[in-house]
Chains A and B, each alone.
Chain A
């Protein structure tokens, strides 16, 4: 989902609690270049918003960095 929204992104996701709804993701994407951390997080959160809306994900810890 994140990779579809951010082509070329490298995404690692870990299940924090073993329940599949509290996730930790590390995302590196070429689109992050020049963006603040806030904007980088906004991009990822926008990409996964449908899964929050339907309740599949409750919490997502994020670490983002530009790729390149």
Chain B
């Protein structure tokens, strides 16, 4: 059972911030590779976002997000009050253009993290 006071606080934060990232560490210094990947994606887009470091209260926040969104792991990106996903889903949505659409911004031309995206990009196709 999640802490009721913390849960209310989290719900208020999600409601108050159109784009809100729960992450390990802070955007300037992520403390986890998955959190870093989401920060890189967001920073590549013309979007303002709030960020909350979950590390100081990891277990209580895990219980809260489990109740709110049925999601236990961090990072978690919320857009307009709804959970979009963690690093895998956010990157997939970035690649497909769905993330730009959800955020209401233009799809950037440059890839967010050259090293990370290069490794996953499909081989060049010859038509």
Alpha-carbon distance between A37 and B102 when the two chains are bound, in angstroms: 15
Which of under 10, 10 to 19, 20 to 34, or 35 or more describes the interface residues of B? Answer: 10 to 19
The total of Cβ contacts below 8 Å across the A-B interface reads 22
Q: In the complex the two chains form, is B89's CB within 8 Å of A42's CB?
A: no
- Say how far B92's CB is from chain A's closest CB, in angstroms: 7
- Say how far A44's CB is from chain B's closest CB, in angstroms: 11
Q: Point out residues on A near B: beta carbons under 8 Å.
A: 37-38, 41-42, 45, 59, 61-63
Alpha-carbon distance between A33 and B86 when the two chains are bound, in angstroms: 20
Q: In the complex the two chains form, is B88's CB within 8 Å of A38's CB?
A: no
Q: In the complex the two chains form, is A61's CB within 8 Å of B88's CB?
A: yes
A37, A42, A45: the one contacting B92 at CB < 8 Å is A37
- Say how far B120's CB is from chain A's closest CB, in angstroms: 9
